[in-house]
Amino acid sequence: MTLSGKLILAWLEEDNKQRALFRVRPLMTGEGVFTQQEIEELPDEGYLRVVPDRKEKATFKDRMRALGELCVVDLRGDLEKTRANKNYAPAKGEINRMVVYSDVILGLPEALVYEVMPDLKGALPMTPRFCLRNGGRIQGPLNARTREPEGGQMAVAPDSNRLFAVQLPDGREKLFFWPAPPAGEPQAEPVEPAKAVQPAAEAPAAAVAPANEPEEEPPVADSPRVYIPIHEVVERRRRDKDALLPAGPDPTEAFRQALEVLWRGEDTRAEAVRLLAAMPDADALMGRAFNPQMKTAAAAALRRELEDMEAERLRLLMDTDRARSDQDTLFAQALDTARERAEHALAALTAQVDDVRGRVDEIKSQESALLTKREELLAQLAGAGGAVLARPSGEACAFADAARRLAEALSDAGFDTDEARAGCLLLLLLICPQVQLDGANAADSVTAAKAIVRALGGNAALFPEDEGDVLLLAGGDGLRAMVTASGGTAPDGYTRLIAGKSDGPEDIWQEYGREPWPCLPLAARPGFFVAQEPTHPAISWTDLQAQVLQDIAELPEAALELLNAAEQALRKAGAPLPLAIRQMVARFVPAAQHLAGSVLTALDTAVSAFILPYARYRQVDVSELSQLLSGMPLSEGSLT
């Protein structure tokens, strides 16, 4: 379907109110209605996604909502305003293959297209002006708000090729009149404003016209096409023909003679009856003529029905007498029937008993397996030396709510944070198997780890001698963490929280070079206060990870430029960033921007958690990056 160069009447809808997403579906142009085949060329539902133009991002949502259900898509300019949708992904809910920029989505002009209304009693018109249909007459336009004539009045022929029936996406069917452009053939002629159609409830009674004169039509200026109802044309011709015919014989006698001729043939007889039955009021007249015969036929049918009922009564009496004489036989049959039913019931009960016994045996088998597993777990517990870590069963929770709980828990514990930075920390925990918490000292890092576990309702093991000796119980879907003093190979089945510090010893980095992990700086508030340690129900870790993986967008252009500059600076210093770090940053920043709501906070967290720790590890002078990190409090704090 070609849309460029056209002025299109379209249906506008907000298909995602939470994210203020809008889309349009083309309905028609001045050349005609879009066919179903043309609509199907815009999979999957025939819509185009509306993308905010750069000039109106601040007013996009309010302006789109103010347009209503109908709008105009003006694609007559020189610039191409439609393109393929880069985010098209039916599996993720984006089913609009094409996009159109919002600067060509306009409100309906008053004199472009008019809805044709049957009366003024129903719903309001969908266009600023509308035409009113009264029988075979269509006149207008009228103002949709005042219901008064407005602009040059027109009388529209009911067979005009500028009338279009449109099926709306919500199932309603509307009739629209799209006047021809000034250079084309006019299909709507101007009339006197005083002759505009009035509402049916207020129209005065028409004067009775003479028998041979048609009702006077409203004058139509400069137009050879004046609409005269078809029944009036037929009646005129009939009266003119009757006036020219000479007086003939009695019509009744002529009909009787013609009927006798027609009745002689089988085919002509049926045709005569069909023609007679098609005449007005033929059913009522023939019903009165046939009424005596119908009464006689009804009485005969009733008499036959009574005779049949009497015969049935006699048969039942004979059957009753025969049953009384065969009482012993019937009793024996009843006993046989009862015995047969009892045998069937006993067989069914036996089958149920066998089924229950089978279930009991199955339950015993399961019990035996569970007892065996119990002994195995007890043996594992004895071998684990008491170190057991279970995963709690969590409940579903939105990412924003979980980030809010984490921000409150860290703030109550004494750390300087906000909801956006807490959201970035939560995202790191979800996508990275191990995260280092860099407080001012190791004790602050442990305090932060405990606050994180409490906020998310998880379970944690603190500084086990050997992580491999900790027994990880199956089941559950909440957070399971181990707080350790150093990192290592990425763990499986739990999250490792490394209690580091910003100026920690070199042995903390002993495994970092082979498999780097994020190191997030945490700043404590000054002063003395009592820490709050509220407990929270467990959150489903699996559900949170699924939310994070829903929308993975591309890196914003500005963020990509800054990251490239930082990577180039490290490369010149002889410490190129590993692929693992670059891939984690590319995954983290778009997701953090979408979930935490701040691209600056996402970028600041990525630099301070991924890039600066690696620069310190490679002993690069990070002060050279200070110009790139202006306005990033976490990163600037890590430079000092």
Over residues 311-346, the pLDDT tens digits come to 777 778 777 767 776 777 778 888 888 888 898 899
Give pLDDT, residue 304.
Answer: 77
Work out the average pLDDT over 77-99: 88
Instruction: Return the C-alpha torsion angle 375, 381, 385, 386, nearest 10.
Output: -130
Q: pLDDT value at position 638?
A: 75
pLDDT score of 389 = 86
Q: What is the DSSP letter of 535?
A: -
pLDDT at 36: 86
Calculated CA dihedral for residues 97, 103, 106, 112, nearest 10 degrees: -90
Identify the pLDDT of residue 282. 72
pLDDT confidence bin for 518, thresholds 50/70/90: very high
Q: Regarding predicted confidence, which is higher, 223 or 25? A: 25
Round to whole Å and give the CA distance between 603 and 635: 9
Q: Using the CB atoms, write b or e for 26-48: b if 16+ within 10 Å.
A: bbbbbeebbeeeebeebeeebbb
Confidence of residue 447 (pLDDT cuts 50, 70, 90): very high
Q: What is the pLDDT of residues 273-296, one digit of tens each?
A: 877 777 776 766 776 666 655 556
308 falls in which pLDDT band (50, 70, 90)? Answer: confident
Q: For the segment 472-515, what is each residue's pLDDT rounded down to a tens digit?
A: 888 888 999 999 988 888 888 899 999 876 554 455 566 788 88
Q: Tell me the H-state helices in 326-441.
A: 327-383, 399-413, 419-431
- For residues 85 and 93, what is the distance between their CA atoms, to the nearest angstrom? 13
What are the residues whose beta carbons fall under 8 Å from the beta carbon of 540, sequence distance 6 or more?
Answer: 394, 395, 396, 397, 477, 478
Q: Give the Å distances, CA to CA, from 179 to 84, 186, 218.
A: 33, 7, 20
Q: Mean pLDDT over all residues of the chain?
A: 81
| 617 close to 576: Cβ distance less than 8 angstroms | no
Comparison of pLDDT for 419 and 555, the residue scoring more: 419
Q: What is the pLDDT of residue 233?
A: 55
Q: Which tens digit of pLDDT belongs to each residue from 629-639?
A: 887 888 877 77
State residue 199's pLDDT score. Answer: 37
Judged against a pLDDT cut of 60, whether residue 135 lies above it is answered with yes
Question: If you write DSSP's letter for every residue of 8-28 in order, what string do you get?
Answer: EEEEEEEEETTTTEEEEEEEE
pLDDT in tens, 377-404: 766 666 655 578 888 998 999 999 999 9
Residue type, 470: V
Q: Flag whether pLDDT at 269 surpasses 50.
A: yes
pLDDT exceeds cutoff 80 at 210:
no
pLDDT at residue 187, rounded to an integer: 40
Q: What is the mean predicted confidence (pLDDT) over 63-84?
A: 90
* Overall average pLDDT of the 244-254 stretch: 68
Which of the listed ranges 118-127, 152-161, 445-454 does the model predict with the highest average pLDDT? Answer: 445-454
pLDDT of residue 206: 35
